Amino acid sequence: MVAAVTRVGIIGAGQMGNGIGHICALAGLPVILLDAKQDALDKALGVMAKNMDRQVGKGTITAEAKLEALGRITTSTDYAKFGECDLVIEAATEKEDVKKAILRTLVPHLNADCIVATNTSSISITRLGAATDRPGKFIGMHFMNPVPVMKLVEVIRGIATDEATFQTIEALATRLNKVTAAAEDFPAFIVNRILVPMINEAVYALYEGVGTITSIDAAMKLGANHPMGPLELGDFIGLDTCLSIMQVLYEGLSDSKYRPCPLLVKYVEAGWVGRKAGRGFYDYGTTPPTPTR
């Protein structure tokens, strides 16, 4: 039986968590947004309001819909607030040990029927589900960034995920005006299995002197009709996230074609992880951004 989701909890107030909260609230769902830091929650509310203002300006939502949506969002630092949720979506950093610790903290506060979803972009759903008391009600729900704009949600079943959970999440994605792609539980699923190795290969092309940052990005934008070059896209995603995904692929599939480029590792070690840090393959302190290599 497909259950209706009536109240959503979200763990993590970063760009993915606030984007998921944004679309859930606009779809009429009460949302509880949790983070360890109150200032992150306050910042998330500001980002959501700003993004909804942009939608109002484009005429895609009304000013009244914006106010109603923001009114549906409650913030908290207390996991006990999730007790009445039908679904809790974990959207924390892309590190397995962090996600497992969050899930172990979460499950004692949930009702028996609550579904738990993870927004992981690469980590095994089966392993994460096994860290909970409800692997049958655990599923991957991988939104794309920026969540309010991108249409796709990858839906990933672990080996123990039951059919009712899958159908419930499919129905919710439709309510959120998203299109789903069902993926099997293999490292990085569909999108990142294809996309992030391309970014890693672009970093290898830079590392080996095949092209410059500018020429590599221009080649893929103009030669393959990509809206962003791969190095620019890596900066947008976060080079730390790209490296984490490559490590999951390399360790999970034991294939040398997924070896992270040493230059990608160096950028992450330097803290030059892209737009969110102000510097990656481009320096975002200038207009337009200038290549850093």
Give per-residue pLDDT as tens, 18-27. 999 999 999 9
The pLDDT of residue 64: 97
Question: Of 51, 119, 122, 142, which residue is the catalytic one?
Answer: 142
- Tell me the pLDDT tens digit for each residue of 70-125: 999 999 999 999 999 999 999 998 889 999 999 999 999 999 999 999 999 999 99
Question: Of 18, 51, 119, 121, which residue is the catalytic one?
Answer: 121
- Residue 95 in contact with residue 121, Cβ under 8 Å? no
Give me the CATH topology for the region 8-183: Rossmann fold (3.40.50)
Task: Report pTM.
Answer: 0.91
Q: What DSSP line would sit under 203-255, residue for residue?
A: HHHHHTTSS-HHHHHHHHHHHS--SS-HHHHHHHH-HHHHHHHHHHHHHHH--
The pLDDT of residue 58: 96
DSSP state of 5: P
Domain boundaries, the chain: 8-183, 192-283
Number of C-beta neighbours around residue 290 at 10 A: 12
The pLDDT of residue 4: 87
Question: Of 90, 119, 124, 154, which residue is the catalytic one?
Answer: 154
The pLDDT of residue 1: 61
215, pLDDT greater than 80: yes
3-class state of residue 48 by DSSP: helix
Using alpha carbons only, give the angle 250, 255, 260 rounded to the nearest 5 degrees. Answer: 40
Report the chain's mean pLDDT, rounded to a whole number. Answer: 96
Superfamily, domain 192-283: N-(1-d-carboxylethyl)-l-norvaline Dehydrogenase; domain 2 (1.10.1040.10)
Q: Note if 208 is an active site residue.
A: no
In sequence order, the 6+-apart residues with CB closer than 8 A to the CB of 159 are: 126, 185
Q: Note if 154 is an active site residue.
A: yes
- Model confidence at 3, pLDDT cuts 50, 70, 90, reads confident
Q: Note if 192 is an active site residue.
A: yes
The pLDDT of residue 126: 98
40, pLDDT greater than 80: yes
Q: Note if 109 is an active site residue.
A: no
For the chain, what percent of residues have pLDDT higher than 70? 99
Question: Of 18, 192, 200, 244, which residue is the catalytic one?
Answer: 192
DSSP state of 286: S
